[in-house]
Chain A
Amino acid sequence: MLAQAKLDALSARIAGLHFPSTGWQGKARGAALERLTAMGLPGRRDEYWRYTDPAKLNAAQVRADLNASDIAFQETDALRIVFTDGVFDAEFSDDLTLSGVEITRLADAVTDLHWAAEIYGVLEERGQKPVLRPFAALATAFATDGLLIRVTGKAERPISIVYRSLSDTSDVMLHHCVKLEEGAEVTLLETGDAGPRLLTNLEVDVAPSARFHHVRAQGRSHQRMVNTHIFARVADEALFKSFTASINGVLTRNEAVLDIVGDDAVAHVAGVTVGDGPDFLNDDTVFITHAAERCESRQVFKKVLKNGATGVFQGKILVKPGAQKTDGYQISQSLLLDGDSQFLAKPELEIYADDVKCSHGSTSGAIDETALFYLRSRGVPQRRAQSLLVLAFLAEALAEIEDETLAEDLQLRLESWLDRHED
């Protein structure tokens, strides 16, 4: 797309949208709009959109029939916060009090100077280099709501953000900020269909020795579109872990931009994807920067695709000069259940320090016939054998979830998807 076309697409996309122009938010959002106007919306020929056509995300209008919502993590005792059509829903939400945590609605934190002013849009802006992420700037500027979560101690229970949708035209833009103080710990869950199209930013600032866990289930409406961004800054000895299960949908683009700035920190990002049909496209785009010593990063992505579904993985490890003793690992694998599905990957390494151990692997192929034959020969029916092998394939990624209840919940969801999509 030419520069002018990108700007025209942007004008159409933001026509009629507004944001509060006063206070710290006004400043942050104004700056984001300025960034955005300098970039325009992405085009098909942009290298970063090589495998995913952004046209559907660029479209000014959106409409989709959503299936009955399907809420995950019900087995987990969590503080539930519900957003209906992109707006905080007090009726269905728990009381926003949790020991060790302060939670504010973004829409309520307009005037007073808030701690979030140091994070909101700040991490996103850092993540605009070296690759432009126009949709992230769009969310910073125009998010209608979101949560500002400050964790000062060990959170008593996980926080579960539940998305609901009542309108078939809701175009949802949300922006969440999480700040973990030194030594703090929290688990953040996300689940539910927010609407036909969801655009989110999640900015996470992890202070020294703090621990952040993030698990989300994207599904299960077939027509929904999701475009998410995670921007994390990880300090000394801190831990950051994010896992996404992406089930169905027409277009899912999950970007994660992790900046490891403190020594001895750990950052993991992982995901499983199951998709059926030629309209399905799932894109995981990850950029991890190592700017400190002795840090570990892991990317584990597994995709199961059938009936012409497309899986995309773009992952990059950047090791800056001086980030010695870095241990970077990246694996992206796809299992193509039939001949029409495709997997497109660009796993990148960019390394400027010598004493590092970095590796990436990427494979693509069909179900192993020998393994299938073995299971059949032991009396396992064909379908069950196939499911077993698919689940075994996904296991390495699911193992990235530390909480067993959450992992089991997602495992069951994947099994039920396999049952529903036997042919």
Chain B
Amino acid sequence: MALEDTLPEIEVREGVDRETIETVQAMAGKYKYGWDTEIEMEFAPKGLNEDIVRLISAKNDEPEWMTEWRLQAYRRWVEMAEPKWAMLNYPEIDYQDIYYYAKPKSMEVKPKSLEEVDPKLLATYEKLGIPLKEQALLAGVEGADEPRRVAVDAVFDSVSVGTTFKAELAKAGVIFCSISEAIREYPELVKKYLGTVVPQSDNYFATLNSAVFSDGSFVYIPEGVKCPMELSTYFRINAENTGQFERTLIIADKGSYVSYLEGCTAPKRDTNQLHAAVVELVILEDAEIKYSTVQNWFPGDEEGKGGIYNFVTKRADCRGDRAKVMWTQVETGSAITWKYPSCILRGEASQGEFYSIAIANNAQQADTGTKMIHLGKNTRSRIVSKGISAGKAQNTYRGQVTMHPRAQNSRNYTQCDSLLIGDKCGAHTVPYIEVKNNSSRVEHEATTSKVDDDQLFYCRSRGMDEEEAVALVVNGFCKEVLQALPMEFAMEAQALVAISLEGSVG
């Protein structure tokens, strides 16, 4: 194989096979997920009004209370104004020029099993191929000697096309399905938790999502259960001029554990596409959720044409004592990123962690960070944010750490580092630190620098070309965050870091 000959020797880490590496290396170059799938789609009419909201609700066979909930949100949204405080510049979004619902025609009758799923859809995910293990599993090929397994919920435009391993998860009592299914099958759970972490009218984009979300994932881990495998959702925006509004709700009951992965891509289009998701995590006593995201929406071309506008509200509520949440994100895509995964540390001794790599190249703009709201005693939080700017990109870390008067003996450590590659880009840090008791300790550190010349020189002197050298140095800069990712994602993320920076040197 010609390909194999050109590959340098790479030590293969556990859990990552040679095929993954080859795929990742073959991907090197431009945005590799820019193709689209020609598939017959069913659209709701363009624009947004109460009828569209009702239609989305009807398409999902939702009960009356859900339709009402959506309408309430819609009515609030109409009266709200789009937030303008982020360091982002983009033309006015015309919310009436977007399709709020798009569904592959073949999904009209919901397939009962993956075998019934339109082969074109399956081929789409096969072609996306990341992570490869998931793709193999998605197609229903269970590797006999595969040690790590991942259950996948694949969301294509507005609908979930299939969820793997449902039966096996059910044996453990774990519910993993699309949110539309959960609304029908588990209305009590949904009613109890939906909108309790991110209220209906929390902010402009979350309110919009509450009105028009079409699908997303739902996870319930019962008391004391360690989820037998990693769960994953793979989002794909395919149709043109379509907004994607998914809603994810994960509930970790007392003493349970789950690791959840999320990936996303979209085709190359000249026009911008809107993505406004809401993720709610509920963590009860002694439970733990690990939430990892590799966000690789189409970032637009070098001139800034096209790309996804990514306005996402993610929040975790550590309701029980000793509850624990860990957000890990690798943000390489999107033309605009507006995203602040947050932790409400309500339970005593609960813990929140946030690890982030945000890369903005070419004309990308990212305004991202986290909030750590310490309410309970002895709560702990840790923020490690690595921002990389290249090309003409602007990258902002925006974060908040609040120690409430009752959050005695709590602790926060924040480190945000920015790396600049080239003199046309910008790196910004906007932290808010609010300490309202003295038994808590809060530490915040931030640095901004450029890629170290000595390190580059060293790599170059060992025979690396400049791009490889920069990729290596940047990967070193991001190491703390990469290490926080589950194995399946770490390798991919590392390659993504290199690819995202392509063309940024020289």
Contacts and interface: CB of A to CB of B under 8 A. Distances in A.
B185 interface: no
Given A47-B85, A321-B423, A357-B449, A346 B433 contact: yes
A27 B405 CA distance: 50
B488 to A, nearest CB: 34
B446 A339 contact: no
B429 interface: yes
A353 B434 CA distance: 29
Q: Is the interface of A mostly helix, strand, loop or mixed?
A: strand
A108 interface: no
Contacts of B131: none
A324 to B, nearest CB: 7
Interface in B415-453: 418, 420-450
B432 A349 contact: no
A366 interface: yes
A361 interface: yes
Contact of A338 (B422, B438, B449): B438
Given A364-B441, A365-B442, A352 B426 contact: yes
Nearest to A361: B445
A347 B431 contact: yes
B235 to A, nearest CB: 32
B418 to A, nearest CB: 7
A376 interface: no
A355 B450 contact: yes
Contacts of A338: 438
Pick from B423, B438, B440, B444 the residue with the most CB of A within 10 Å: B438
A358 B428 contact: no
Interface string A253-272: 00000000000000000000
A352 B394 CA distance: 9
A350 B396 CA distance: 8
Contacts of A354: 420-423, 425, 450
Interface residues of B, number: 36
A285 interface: no
A246 to B, nearest CB: 19
Nearest to A342: B436
Pick from B421, B422, B447 the residue with the most CB of A within 10 Å: B447
B427 A351 contact: yes
Contacts of A342: 434-437
Nearest to A310: B436
A339 B433 contact: no
A400 interface: no
Contacts of A353: 420, 423
B499 to A, nearest CB: 21
A344 B430 contact: no
B420 A351 contact: yes
A364 B439 CA distance: 10
Given A343-B435, A344-B433, A359 B428 contact: no
Contacts of A346: 430-433
B425 A359 contact: no
Contacts of A340: 405, 437
B383 to A, nearest CB: 13
B381 to A, nearest CB: 14
A348 B422 contact: no
A348 B428 contact: yes
B265 to A, nearest CB: 30
A259 B437 CA distance: 35
Given A352-B426, A355-B423, A364-B441, A344 B449 contact: no
A363 B442 contact: yes
Contact of B426 (A351, A355, A363, A365): A351
Contact of A348 (B85, B430, B436, B440): B430
Contacts of B85: 47
A359 B446 contact: yes
A349 B429 contact: yes
A351 B87 CA distance: 12
Given A352-B426, A354-B425, A355-B423, A345 B433 contact: yes
Contacts of B434: 342-345
Given A345-B444, A354-B421, 20 more contacts: A336-B438, A338-B438, A339-B437, A344-B435, A345-B431, A345-B434, A346-B433, A347-B429, A348-B431, A349-B427, A349-B446, A354-B423, A354-B450, A356-B448, A358-B449, A360-B444, A362-B431, A362-B442, A363-B441, A365-B441
Interface of B: 85, 87, 405, 408, 418, 420-450
30 contacts: A322-B423, A337-B438, A339-B405, A339-B408, A339-B439, A342-B434, A342-B436, A344-B434, A347-B431, A347-B433, A349-B429, A349-B448, A350-B87, A350-B426, A350-B428, A352-B425, A354-B421, A356-B448, A356-B449, A359-B445, A359-B448, A360-B446, A362-B442, A362-B443, A362-B444, A363-B443, A364-B433, A364-B442, A365-B440, A366-B439
